Amino acid sequence: MLENFGYRQIITLYRLRGFFSYLRGDKQWGEIKRVGFDAPDAPSA
């Protein structure tokens, strides 16, 4: 029961923030930089 205190308030703040962003016309996710799973190149010695 104790874990509900704070969680619901934070979720409500996130929802309000998203709602007001939507009303302002901000309907984009933004740019996400893609990264791969390849290992970085080893420096040449």
Comparing 4 with 36, the larger pLDDT belongs to 36
**pLDDT tens digits, residue range 16-35?**
999 999 999 987 877 888 88
Average pLDDT over residues 33-43: 75
Residue with the bigger pLDDT between 2 and 9: it is 9
In this model, does residue 14 exceed pLDDT 70? Answer: yes
2 has pLDDT over 70: no
Q: What is the pLDDT of residue 16?
A: 96
What per-residue confidence (pLDDT) applies to 31?
Answer: 85
Residue 3's alpha-carbon distances to 7, 8, 25, 32, 36, in angstroms, are 7, 9, 34, 32, 36
